[in-house]
Structure 1
Amino acid sequence: MKQVFLIALTCFYSLTIFCQNDSITSLDEVILLQEFIKKKAVGITTSSSVEITDLEQYSPIDFASGLNEISGLYVLSGALNTNRITIRGVGARTPFGTDKLRMYFNGIPVTNGTGVSTIEAYDFENMGRIEVVKGPKGTSLGANLGGVILLNTKPPEVGSTFLNNTFTIGSFDLIKDNLSFRHSEKNFNLNLSYNHLQTNGFRQNNSFDRNGFLLTSSVKIYPKGKLDFLVNYIDYTAGIPSSINQTDFSEDPRRAAANWLAARGFETNKYTLTGLSHSHFFNSNLKTTNSIFYTYLDHYEPRPFNILDEFTNGFGFRSLTEGKFFNGSFTIGGELYRDEYNWQTFINQFRDNDGNGSLQGAQLSDNNEFRSQLNLFGTYTYQLSPKFTLQAGLAFNQTKFDFRDSFNEGEENTSARRDFDPIVLPSLGLEYRIKKGQLYANIGRGFSNPGLEETLTPDGVINPYIEQEKGVNYEFGGRFLLFKNTLNLSMAAYQMNITDLLVAQRIDEDQFIGRNAGETKHQGIELDLRYRQKIAEKWMLIPRLSYSYSNHSFVDFVDGENDFSGNDLAGVPRHRINSGIALRKGKAFVFNLTHQFVDNILLNDANTLSSEAFTIFNLSTRYNTSISNNLKLGINFGLNNLFNTNYAQSVLINAVGFGGAEPRYFYPGNARNYFAGLRLNYIF
């Protein structure tokens, strides 16, 4: 029945696209606002993005659905604090968290020294655009195999000063508030934002409580120079229900894993990001921007197997110079990042705590890791003819890890150092412009650093043989503006060959080891459609559709006595469809119906187990009006998971059951739930 409904829905969108009239549509003002956020991908490097209007279709805590509109990208979200982002299958084997890509916030790199990015450290109500470069073609933004995610806050509106408050309530005792003050004039702008979020969550031990503060400001300090400031602070405490087995998932997906529930496992995080950027415009053809930044993370996490207490200090410098040279344009620069990661573990005595949850016991370890990365890069874009453009890029990476054991002495001390070989990463792109769009092709080499667990042996010593993953990505595609500029069509086909594949092998409940296990081949097709049809005075119908086909497999992978060569890569749905239709009347009213289909996901390398495919529908509506010349009112309402589907919103690959227990593969998605919000905007 679900498949029939899906086909009917897709056919409806197709008919809507092609049943058009002769009118030429115009964009609403709220969409024009996006143009002030300049594309960050350099030159002809292709990228995809979601805008304010895309994010506003969903609950303000459901950033995963907004990002999942991008073909080729999939967010597996086990909870608000448990997210794993994969791009074209890269990162699908990571047990927890997001790695193998690079993330920037307003131009400041926020990926730590081992390549881990924490997207839940940001309030998405502050975002204006999220831009994604898929694959290792964004040379000036790090040539990571997964690509780049660029988070950009809402742009200034010159000549305006206003106070905005958005208050949201919803299922599972959800309360969220975002209060912001914004002032902008010709040579100065300031944005201050405070946000609060609390919810008990759908599952047991699933509460989340967060407070955050954001400051962004830009000031022109002399005719050719300006300073940009950034401070982002997040403080949250979140329960951890963890993954559950097939029996619990089928009988009652609200259950938490028994051991995590008994320990009342949770995590607390205090995260600070500060950045200062100076831009100097030498002339209309030459600009340089230099940024310094500092990050701090204080993390405490009682788990059933131990208690982790850690903090990370990170700092860095980024320089970017852009200009024109010999009838072409160039970008050259570098990025240095260093951090100090300190972590201790303790016995968790929750079993002896009379049912009161975790209790810190004796110390088990005390470790420090000093990590540094140097990235140098340059691109040159040259227009060979009025229609034909070439872009060449070259990046260089040097990564070093220095691990220090401050707990053990003598022969038991596991201190060690690992300097990875320097790696050179070239790229080449071509673009050919046609009457209604452009065709493009690119080839680029990328890499991924091993994570912390992957660098260590079971004895806690840095593995001297572990290597970085390396790969080459080939891509061909096109972008077209058709039917009197009412239909945006994008399509891409790619193949990425990855060698020295990093495999995290679970050897205990709390212990993984990494090794280079072979080679994978990632092939896929991506399609994105967005259409705008004027159906009456001020009324617009806006259907969209994105489709991802993923054919990812092991070329060479032998694990002990098991030869998995030729098997499909676990953790990636082969087919994924994300679609929606919006009915909009100017800026006053919008109704959205969104849909997501995710194919079954293989759960192990043997390809013998998989999750079930699922289809989810959400709806939302938003109404805006003016109470006076200075005061505007907005109300919104949404209903998620309309048909109350029991589905796995995230999965754990190659889960192992310990002590005779069933393996815990599944993170259930939320049951049917609602949200409702009120927005007040006062213009001074």
Structure 2
Amino acid sequence: MKTSLFCILLVISFSNLLGQESVQDSVTYLDEVILVDPVKNKAAKGITASNVIKGKIFQNQSPIDFAATINQIAGVHMFSGALNTNRITIRGVGARTPFGTDKIRLYYNDIPVTNGTGFSTIEAFDLENLNAIEIIKGPKSAAYGTNLGGAMLLRTTEVETTGTTVSNNFTAGSYGLIKNNLSLSHADEKLNFNMHYGHMSTDGYRENNSFDRDGLLLNLSRIINSKSTVSLLVNYIDYTAQIPSSLSQTAFDEDPTQAAFTWNASQGFEANKYTLVGLSHTYKFNEKFRNTTGLFYSYLDHYEPRPFNILDEYTNGYGFRSNFSGNFDLNGQEATYNFGGEFYRDEYKWQTFENLYRDNNGNGSLEGDQISNNKEYRRQFNGFGVITLPLSSRLKAQAGLNINKTHYDFRDLFTIGAGNKNAKRNFDLLILPSLSMEYGLGGGSRIYANVSRGFSNPSLEETLTPDGLINPEIEQETGTNYELGTKLFFWPKTNLWLDITFYRMDIKNLLVAQRVGEDQFIGKNAGKTRHQGIELQLDYRFNLGNNTTLSPSVGYTVNDHSFKEFVDGDDDFSGNPLTGVPKHRLHFSSRLEHKKKFYWTATYQYVDDIPLTDANSLSSDAYGIFSSQMGYNTSVSEKLSLGINIGVNNIFDTTYARSVLINAVGFGGNAPRYFYPGNDRNYYGGVQLAYRL
């Protein structure tokens, strides 16, 4: 492991102007410092463990760095090749997905935003608009889809102080970064209103790497009467991002700022317009029973010129989610339950065209003749139920059940006659149980255990044969998760919170996406994997006196993931470490705060080497990255608050690959391109203003 001295910066910053929700009322002194929810959490509806990032933890990183924020959690790794090229893996699940995030269910204010094949796009959301990120690792939460990787719940900021506030956060930095977030919020006895407009632009670290985004978020909640509350969410994002793509080992060593040659020549990019609308109603039948039902609609218009073709696609999705929750007395103690279901249906239409960039006099991509025209209808239903029963004053049991039904309907609109490829795939009904036990040790500490079943759907590419037909033999991945953990809380003597988890998950019908062309992948079920490891999360708070605190946090992951059975043609990879997963990951952060005004944070992220091929013949280099930020905030007047901040990432200018592509294949005699270079040393600073009307 590389080690270095920390570099100290003196700067000024602004803390959260509207305040943050406490993780739990009984432990507010650790509010905005700890990364884990002490006893219960919103997602679990009982005792299932999750991890939460919230409050000032967001300040540890740049406001554009989703990956560094999420990578603070043990067991979770977000690869980020660019602002628009991200892949999130949890406990190694999703590591084999070539591009993007798969096998993890993503929710935005409890609205499912994962598409019909299980693909999620986290870059469609602005980090500055979030109040919390909750991560459920593994399939143990029946209420949120039981995907093998788990679920990620993004929650927007809510106004917690009565009155009206206008605030503006402005950030500038290296690579021509400009980011501005303007918000208007209001809260009274009946209405909670929050609206954000955000703009961001940057030239990027590499060639052909610019990013330009505008976004609008409206979050409104209205209390109708003592029983009814109506909420409205509108999120709109419009961004255009150039694509530098990955580099070969030689190109990466020579100059990591260069783009892949063909992507630079074609000036490849993607343009996205994304809209999400959700309307929900909460009805309180009585003190012990309520329901929340929401309707949602999403639309994505995506246009992407690539060297090998031009992709033009759109996705229309809609559905509902309904959740009933309540509690009842059992032997003088409270038992809780929730049940409901969610339905999602989308229509995905995509066309490809020739890219005539070679004939465009160096002006980049030029649309030529149409190559394909396809449409796919996807629908999925999840039904769930969870009940938590107190077996004694310290012992609780939680049983959960999720049922899933998935259907694909593929239409070839380009080929007519005998060559038509229309096909349907109706997957079997999956019944996925979960059982958890928790024993309270007192003072918020506990020991828990879980056994649960989960699944992952094949992606669109994985459902097709090399001829573009639906593959009737492809199966859903399924697995069983075993987990044992302890959450120890040592306050008031030491202000220490310790979370240790041991887990093992066996997955069968492993889905393998095999690249057979520059824009063609096929899938097959190639065997079994075993995911096992240890996760440690530690948070501590030192009271240094004079209203000064020091709060270090450590997240450490040991991954022992391997192919249990994996035969690919004539190659037997059984026993090899799982491709695309580092064995060790370490995140360390420390926050020094004085009188809740001045703060200084320092972070270190270590990632072990990563196997890049199933044969383990090539690996990326391990790396360690230091970053830091400081700040100060002050009240200019009774109504006006002001702050500035400054930070630096990759202090020691380490050259590293922030994302990798596994089992890369070279075409046209070119070397395989495995590496997405990380940014060099870069700086950012911001000014924040808030005025309470």
Is the shorter-chain TM-score for this pair beyond 0.5, marking a shared fold? Answer: yes
| Match of residue 470 from structure 2 | 462
| Counterpart mapping for 1:552-591 below 5 A | 552-591=561-600
Residues 187-214 of structure 1 show CA distances to partners (whole Å, capped at 9, x for unaligned) of 2110010000000000000000000000
Runs of 4+ in structure 1 deviating by more than 6 angstroms, as ranges, are 28-32
CA distance in structure 1 between the partners assigned to 2:28 and 2:471 by the alignment: 58
1:367 aligns with 2:370: no
Gap change, CA 1:570 and 1:31, over 3 Å in 2: closer
Q: What is the aligned partner in structure 2 of residue 313 from structure 1?
A: 316
Q: How big is each residue's C-alpha offset from its partner over 1:616-650, in whole Å with a ceiling of 9 and x where there is no partner?
A: 00000121001111110011100000000000000
Counterpart of 2:515 (choices 471, 483, 506) is: 506
Q: Is 1:387 matched up with 2:394? A: yes
Which residue, out of 282, 289, 293, partners 1:290? 293
What pairs with 1:98-247 in structure 2 (closer than 5 Å)? 98-247=101-250
**Aligned residue in 1 for 2:15:** none
Is 1:344 aligned to residue 347 of structure 2?
A: no
* Alignment correspondent of 1:475: 483
Instruction: Give the partner amino acid of 2:504.
Output: Q
The one-letter amino acid paired with 2:489 is: L
Rounded to whole Å, the distance in 1 between the matches of 2:43 and 2:28 is: 25
- Report the residue type matching 2:154 in the other structure: L
Secondary structure of the equivalent of 2:563? strand
* Structure 2 contact 45–337 (Cα < 8 Å) conserved: no
State the one-letter code of the partner of 1:249: F
Pairing partner for 2:617 from 594, 604, 608 = 608
* Residue 644 (structure 1) aligned with residue 653 (structure 2): yes
Partners in 2 of 1:357 and 1:459 — Cα distance? 30
Match of 2:603 in 1: 594
Deviation, structure 1 residue 30: 6.4
Task: Look up the SS of the partner of 2:119 in the other structure.
Answer: coil
C-alpha distance in 2 between matches for 1:326 and 1:397: 31
Distance 1:38 1:289 in 2: 17
In 1: Cα distance, 2:32 partner to 2:597 partner:
11
Q: 1:76 is aligned with what amino acid?
A: F
Deviations 1:199-241 (A, max 9, x none): 0000000000000000001001121110011000000000000
CA gap of 1:31–1:527, structure 2 versus 1, over 3 A, is closer
Alignment partner of 1:250 is 2:253: yes
Deviation at 1:586, TM superposition (A): 3.0
Which letter maps to 1:396? I
C-alpha distance in structure 2 between counterparts of 1:160 and 1:434, whole Å: 42
Contact 1:25/1:532 (<8 A) preserved: no
1:16 match: none
Q: TM-score normalised to the size of structure 2?
A: 0.94
Shift of 1:55: 1.2
| Residues 1:27 and 2:35 aligned together | no
Which runs of 5 or more structure 2 residues have no equivalent in the other structure?
7-25
Alpha carbons 1:335, 1:374 under 8 Å: kept: yes
Contact 1:140 1:377 in 2 (8 A): yes
**Kept after mapping to 2: 8 A contact 1:30/1:587:** no
Which amino acid letter does the alignment assign opposite residue 683 of structure 1?
A: R
Report the CA distance between 1:31 and its aligned residue: 6.8
Mapped partners of 1:517, 1:411: distance in 2: 31
Who is 1:74 aligned against? 77
Rounded Cα–Cα distance in structure 1 between residues aligned with 2:475 and 2:329: 40
Q: What is the aligned partner in structure 2 of residue 678 from structure 1? A: 687
* Structure 1 spans left out of the alignment, 5+ residues: 8-23
Match of residue 492, structure 1, among 495, 501, 516: 501
Scaled by the length of structure 1, the TM-score of the pair is: 0.96
Aligned CA distance change for structure 1 residues 545 and 462 (closer, same or farther; 3 Å): same
CA distance in 2, matches of 1:585, 1:198: 33
What is aligned with 2:642? Answer: 633
Distance across 2 between alignment mates of 1:150 and 1:83: 17
Counterpart mapping for 1:8-19 below 5 A: none
Q: How far apart, in 2, do the equivalents of 1:139 and 1:419 lie?
A: 22
Instruction: Tell me the secondary structure at the aligned position of residue 392 of structure 1.
Output: strand
Could you report, residue by residue, the CA deviation over 1:317-369 in whole angstroms, capped at 9, with x for unpaired residues? 11000012462211110000000001100000001111111000000111110
Q: Output the CA distance in 2 between the equivalents of 1:345 and 1:160.
A: 51
Which structure's relative contact order is higher, taking Cα pairs within 8 Å and 6+ residues apart?
Answer: 2
Q: How many residues align?
A: 667
The answer to whether the Cα contact below 8 Å between 1:28 and 1:586 also exists between their aligned partners in 2 is no
Separation in 1 of the partners of 2:275 and 2:576? 42
For 1:194 and 1:507, the matched residues in 2 are separated by 42
Residue from 408, 417, 433 that aligns with 2:415: 408
The 1-side partners of 2:73 and 2:66 are apart by: 12
Distance (whole Å) between structure 1 residues aligned to residue 2 and residue 320 of structure 2: 51
Q: Letter of the 2:81 partner, please give it.
A: G
Amino acid at match of 1:564: F
2:662 paired with 1:653: yes
**CA shift digits 1:369-388 (9 cap, x unpaired):** 00000100101100000000
Question: Distance between the aligned counterparts of 1:305 and 1:607, measured in 2?
Answer: 29
The structural deviation recorded for 1:25 is 9.8
Matched, 1:57 2:60: yes
2:9 is aligned to none
Q: What code does the residue aligned with 1:373 have?
A: Q
